[in-house]
Structure 1
């Protein structure tokens, strides 16, 4: 034992310098290890915590989802002089890869085919003679249909924006871009331009629009009145293109849209709608000659207000195109 104690302090200059570079705590630990421990340390075989190399049986790696690998330390044997172990974070942290999903195309809106309805007695589409064909008149392709093409007179009434979307019924339900829609309806007093007494010389509330890439046509008009015997409605005919929207012989489909009762009652409280409110009270959808067999595909959704204007929307499923 005396010989070993002497050997601890007689290992040469290099050993002395190495020992001097250690912290006081490390030197105390080395002295407790004795000759064999100091010799192994100097040979680089037994580094302590805090040295640059990784200890044998050191930290084990634990995988953490989405954040790479985080090391967990292995505890040193319990000792009154043991140094506190610090967790070591792995130098390389993986970055999770997120797959990029391409933006999908808009889903087509599928609706049931809208039923074929009569064009009624006041179509103005040339089916009753050339003199009653607004489709042949210059300027009929227009969005704002409140003004007469010939006289410039304006139809009075609560503003209404019609937004109608044409889609192929069944199949792929694709929008019918490029198809044309001719819309017409009565004025606030329930009169049809070109036909009714007092407005024979007018052609307002009639117009044609081509569907855009989404199949949508838009008209700026007024809310139609309610005349005796019919539920408030708007007529329309669909044509393959603007070029063919010149007379009834090229019609693809003819139908009508209905307007909701609660909105009609609000509008018809306005004095300019004359007897419309009374006429509405004497008719119902169930008794209407057009809508009584089902109006689910023909009822427009109306939003907005009387002060700022109303918007009526309907997706029209066109069969056979």
Structure 2
């Protein structure tokens, strides 16, 4: 289905998977130009983290609590804008999965449509993102907004692009935000590939219609995982490569999260045996 893209290795073993802003700048530049041409205004990105990069606000609270919490506009900043990486699957870099029937779903572990029909294996993960209005101080849920998320599989490969999984479209899906501004996806915990801290990509759209038309992106960002959870997950079967890759990385040195990750660090609950839940508030 997708454009064939071998899992190439360069520069001493660093994969071309999402190697950071400098590597992905052409893709990001094109995306931002599209937004400007569409008349969308770029909002100043203001972080709110402590010196060690840990959340300075209530990111550890539950998604529902975050949606209803009140904060002054000065305390609420938009989610940091990040590169979508080279494998977005949204039409900006080759294949476009957003226009395919079946992409609107909550369980993204399996492929859909005319793809190979496989299922990604790994530690179960439920992701809940709460989209809120930054201009109102993060107190107003963005009901009706839509979120597209995608991430690599347990082996660190991206469906539609990586060698061996170009016919799969697993670990990709769209959801419409409910009255609390929430979207929830059932997935698996992503692996850690060389050069990048474990993460999930996501795009926020103004509506489900915009998302499935792959137009008018409101925000593009990434969710980060805490190290202790990564260590626990990667000690389980199937994540052997992730153990080695994670040992040479940190949130402070990652090419995306090194400038501050407090607003992107997921709050986690659960266990490797029973599965994890990850929650994050996404002000836009």
Distance 1:137 1:234 in 2: 21
1:152 alignment partner, one of 103, 107, 117: 117
1:171 alignment partner, one of 136, 158, 163: 136
Runs of 4 or more consecutive aligned structure 1 residues displaced over 6 Å after TM superposition: none
Larger Rg: 1
Q: Give the superposed CA RMSD.
A: 1.3
Shift of 1:172: 4.4
What is residue 133 of structure 1 aligned with on the other side? 96
SS of equivalent to 1:276: helix
Correspondence list, 1:170-319, <5 A: 170-173=135-138, 174-318=140-284
What is residue 123 of structure 1 aligned with on the other side? 88
Counterparts in 2 of 1:287 and 1:248: CA distance versus 1, 3 Å = farther
CA deviation profile, 1:35-84 (whole Å, cap 9, x unmatched): xxxxxxxxxxxxxxxxxxxxxxxxxxxxxxxxxxxxxxxxxxxxxxxxxx
CA deviation profile, 1:217-252 (whole Å, cap 9, x unmatched): 000000000000000000000011111113543211
Question: What runs of 5+ residues in structure 2 fail to find an aligned partner?
Answer: 1-66
CA deviation profile, 1:104-159 (whole Å, cap 9, x unmatched): xx844544321100000000001124xx1110111000000000012221000000
Question: What runs of 5+ residues in structure 1 fail to find an aligned partner?
Answer: 1-105
Distance 2:244 2:227 in 1: 13
How many aligned positions are there?
211
Correspondence list, 1:59-138, <5 A: 107-110=68-71, 111-129=76-94, 132-138=95-101
Distance 2:141 2:70 in 1: 8
Q: When the two structures are superposed, what TM-score results if normalisation uses the length of structure 2?
A: 0.72
